Structure 1
């Protein structure tokens, strides 16, 4: 039986109009940015903007949450997840338990509650939905230092990465999705008056109404690396197109999405909507809740970022739903020649070190012609390039405190195991060894500098090694026969394993054109000759497209029209007005 909602108060009933007035300018500016692809963001990157204490305020807010239950007031509570790690509780990669417990909910109660919230949200229309979504993002943004601290102590981000990927850039991705959702839903007019001449003196008159109808409940399956940055596009694209959203967080990174859901529920209730439009579904250890939810008949949309194996399972079994995936990637970078050898090395060192190589856009395979490269300092042999990269890494990461600001902490023991395997020589000769870094504030944090392994693409065993993702601070310096062979290997790797980014250093127009053509065919973004403080792993929201959907790294793009258009359908009502 459908649940009857209480009649909203006059204040609540007026809230959508106020929210439209408050956020219309921001929405219009976002619509302009995604059209022009210019630089723009309403969310500042400086923590001092959010309060006098900056990052310290966020840390204090996080500390106030530790060791306590996190309440959301959702229906169907049937137990508790956490707080101990063996009961599903989170542990900071910096070496301590968060001690937060979350309510567990019976899907048989939670899913009907989400479904019951849909009609009023659908009937509110695209503009109201966009305004409410922007208010949610506005409230999240106001607490960016807290979200940054949550990202740091669930995903192991360094402080800058935590603020960017865990807070403001995630908010940008959410707003970007709302802008695309609004544009697609309003591409057709809300109504039209259709007249067709039927002969001399006679015209058929029909009134038509076009309504965007949501697909149904949307499931967002979070990951532990970037729960907000990867979660917000699907969450806000679905919500803005009228779909209730159930968030199933990764057990190791519940807090960032729990904070998001709590603020979303508060805003929805204040605007006169059922807060159960957005719910959280933490899971018990080993429960496999994502599989149960993804195959529920009520779930019509699934957003997942993570391992390819589970994505394949979703495509095979969640046949009632449209599944959007962002998956594992093996990113390559070809070094053919450069006009600024030292700046290139510095850029490469930072790129392979940032967040300990745990970004989905981090370069893994550095392809270098075995005969060496041309530079502004003269010819450099393959061995010299590898050694000089090691020197650049030492300069960047030689001080433990400074290194931690770049590296962050390793996500878990499986990442450390990859580093240890590479250091053992099992993958190939070690060109630049990794070292343990002691964090000045968190002595139990596991921090490692990148290990560079030297491989030869001509050897079958080495070729197999480079055709696999090795998330973490493991970099493979691969000798190739020539620039042309390097371009071919990039194309093969992308088509076989998937990639989100490809890099090139070259002063040759011929090589650049060849790589450009190869990347266009393989369906992957190419960055050439990046220098200074812009890196291959970075993605500019409102301008860059994250993913293409054309290679095995996923079928979704953050964001484009296709990412949101599948989340609703347009239904037409025709009313005959007569013939004259």
Structure 2
């Protein structure tokens, strides 16, 4: 008999669950998992680098169907081969196994599934220092960002999904007695039972730049609602997903459940398996993060499944006037530099009137603003050690090539340069490229150029900036929109624009909050209302489409 049951796990974490429910309804600041590395056991923090190295050049063991071959090939953007290998099962057999596990996971019930999910998250949090190194050496993020975004912040987003799932499932009563009066006749009385039933096998397709942060919401949203989950990581970032699946399998097994309820599917860039997976008719839920090309293909072809996608967009900022030019350019310098612009939230298009902007010191011309931003960015990256920590490494060689290709798209305000990392001399590190273009050159700046590439767009006026931004956002979508203005009327116009194009708006950020950062339990990430993403992380709609309610009724 199992030493622990899913119900026991629910009781263990119920207090945290209730606090998280409160958080999603108030949207105030709250985070259950500390982003402060010093809050974690010192011995785990110290041993994490060696624990990571111990996973390299080894075979990673997980539960799963018979292996067809072993997959390897991860290479750190910091210049070293991981050498870790993973089993690749037959994808059709894997889906069949997962499908056979649906009744068992369904019958664990909402409480049981919540308990299991929260225990998985607790154990993932315990291994956060190790996860930081795994995310760093697959994504290229600097260690502190890899630790925070890849571990506690990702866990925050996962718990948020679990809580929204619990909220949605808990709103449905398990039973009801239906008593309909009939006047002088005996009433009609029935007992009704309502069961949360998962849609089927779920597949989560991860990305290389945020292998946990972008994977966890879909993984835990499907899992908590009863769908066995296949995690299909990007071939360049398998290790963080494998560590996650291993923890999930350990918890499931200890709870008396089949560990394969969460399984790993790996592939290579040369022989991808994602299309075969998502087109299997038993796959009923798909989460995808990545390029618009494949995301659109999934949406158009996987009609048998509920599909949740986050794709490419053109994140934008409109500059009208500022109250503190130095503070604004410092904020933007950090925004453009953080993880070398390899975030789905990083600004690419910055609209500024040709006539300049108003500041307390007087009018600042378009060229003066451009120079101020270039100077602020150069100054911010002046210390090489700090620059390397903030920039991280370029995840893909294709992104590094894109920087070179984009130099000819406009007048260079700040050129991208290579940096040498003190600890990892072979790291692929680049500083931001900032270009000046005219507002009429819409074809140049209206396409996402992934990486540390941004455009200062000279417009006829703030009104023209709003118009151009709307055209681009209507067509391409975005995750973030920013505005700088000392005018309440302009800020109101920007809010109207944000509602029209359905994108999150940030106003006058000039301190410690940046447009490309998103806080779980408070910020909704994406809206699901524009071409950049068809779903929001996380809201009720992200959860309720992952299950159905099946009722059974009988006369009393």
| Residue 45 of structure 2 is aligned to residue 63 of structure 1 | no
How many angstroms apart in 1 are the aligned matches of 2:371 and 2:520? 35
| Residue 434 of structure 2 is aligned to residue 455 of structure 1 | no
Shift of 1:56: 4.0
Aligned residue in 2 for 1:562 = 541
2:30 to 34, 40, 43: 40
Aligned residue in 1 for 2:389 = 405
- Preserved CA contact (<8 Å) 2:6 2:111: no
How many angstroms apart in 2 are the aligned matches of 1:531 and 1:59? 35
How many angstroms apart in 2 are the aligned matches of 1:129 and 1:260? 17
After superposition, residues 349-388 of structure 1 pair within 5 angstroms as 349-388=333-372
How many angstroms apart in 2 are the aligned matches of 1:54 and 1:41? 21
How many angstroms apart in 1 are the aligned matches of 2:387 and 2:183? 80
| Residue 246 of structure 2 is aligned to residue 262 of structure 1 | yes
Q: How many residue pairs align between the two structures?
A: 556
| Residue 377 of structure 2 is aligned to residue 393 of structure 1 | yes
Aligned residue in 2 for 1:283 = 267
Shift of 1:376: 2.0
Shift of 1:549: 1.1
How many angstroms apart in 1 are the aligned matches of 2:239 and 2:319? 40
Shift of 1:339: 0.8
Aligned residue in 2 for 1:6 = none
Q: 1:454 to 1:10 in 2, by over 3 A?
A: closer
- Preserved CA contact (<8 Å) 1:269 1:275: yes
- Preserved CA contact (<8 Å) 1:50 1:143: no
Aligned residue in 2 for 1:481 = 460
| Residue 298 of structure 2 is aligned to residue 340 of structure 1 | no
- Preserved CA contact (<8 Å) 1:524 1:548: yes
After superposition, residues 98-137 of structure 1 pair within 5 angstroms as 98-137=82-121
Please state whether the residue corresponding to 1:437 is helix, strand or coil.
Answer: coil
Range with bigger deviation, 52-61 or 449-458 = 52-61
- Preserved CA contact (<8 Å) 1:249 1:282: yes
How many angstroms apart in 1 are the aligned matches of 2:51 and 2:437? 47
How many angstroms apart in 2 are the aligned matches of 1:486 and 1:291? 40
Shift of 1:551: 0.7
Shift of 1:181: 0.6
Aligned residue in 2 for 1:527 = 506
How many angstroms apart in 1 are the aligned matches of 2:311 and 2:47? 34
Aligned residue in 1 for 2:127 = 143
Please state whether the residue corresponding to 1:57 is helix, strand or coil.
Answer: helix
Q: Could you list the per-position Cα deviations for residues 447-505 of structure 1 after superposition, in whole angstroms to 9, with x for gaps in the alignment? A: 111111000103xxx21011100111111111111011111112111111110000001
Aligned residue in 2 for 1:467 = 446
Please state whether the residue corresponding to 1:229 is helix, strand or coil.
Answer: coil
Aligned residue in 1 for 2:8 = 18
Aligned residue in 2 for 1:5 = none
- Preserved CA contact (<8 Å) 1:48 1:54: no
Please state whether the residue corresponding to 1:129 is helix, strand or coil.
Answer: helix
- Preserved CA contact (<8 Å) 1:334 1:368: yes
| Residue 21 of structure 2 is aligned to residue 27 of structure 1 | no
Shift of 1:342: 1.0
- Preserved CA contact (<8 Å) 2:63 2:260: no
Q: Could you list the per-position Cα deviations for residues 322-357 of structure 1 after superposition, in whole angstroms to 9, with x for gaps in the alignment? A: 111001011010111111111111001000110001
Shift of 1:46: 1.2
| Residue 230 of structure 2 is aligned to residue 246 of structure 1 | yes
How many angstroms apart in 2 are the aligned matches of 1:51 and 1:360? 32
Aligned residue in 1 for 2:488 = 509
Q: 1:276 to 1:344 in 2, by over 3 A?
A: same
- Preserved CA contact (<8 Å) 2:74 2:81: yes
| Residue 57 of structure 2 is aligned to residue 77 of structure 1 | no
Shift of 1:436: 1.4
How many angstroms apart in 2 are the aligned matches of 1:185 and 1:34? 15
Q: 1:537 to 1:570 in 2, by over 3 A?
A: same
Shift of 1:284: 3.9
How many angstroms apart in 2 are the aligned matches of 1:160 and 1:476? 28
- Preserved CA contact (<8 Å) 1:341 1:377: no
How many angstroms apart in 2 are the aligned matches of 1:356 and 1:56? 27
Q: TM-score, normalised by structure 1?
A: 0.94
Shift of 1:285: 4.3
Please state whether the residue corresponding to 2:215 is helix, strand or coil.
Answer: helix
Shift of 1:280: 0.2
Q: Could you list the per-position Cα deviations for residues 280-339 of structure 1 after superposition, in whole angstroms to 9, with x for gaps in the alignment? A: 011144222000010011111110011111012112221211111001011010111111
Range with bigger deviation, 344-353 or 72-81 = 72-81
How many angstroms apart in 2 are the aligned matches of 1:206 and 1:129? 29
Shift of 1:54: 6.3
Q: TM-score, normalised by structure 2?
A: 0.98
| Residue 31 of structure 2 is aligned to residue 49 of structure 1 | no
Gaps in structure 2 of 5+ consecutive residues: none
Aligned residue in 2 for 1:321 = 305
Q: 1:431 to 1:10 in 2, by over 3 A?
A: closer
Q: Could you list the per-position Cα deviations for residues 333-389 of structure 1 after superposition, in whole angstroms to 9, with x for gaps in the alignment? A: 011111111111100100011000110000011111100001122211110111111
Shift of 1:53: 4.8
Shift of 1:105: 0.5
How many angstroms apart in 2 are the aligned matches of 1:139 and 1:147? 11
Aligned residue in 2 for 1:439 = 421
Please state whether the residue corresponding to 1:91 is helix, strand or coil.
Answer: coil
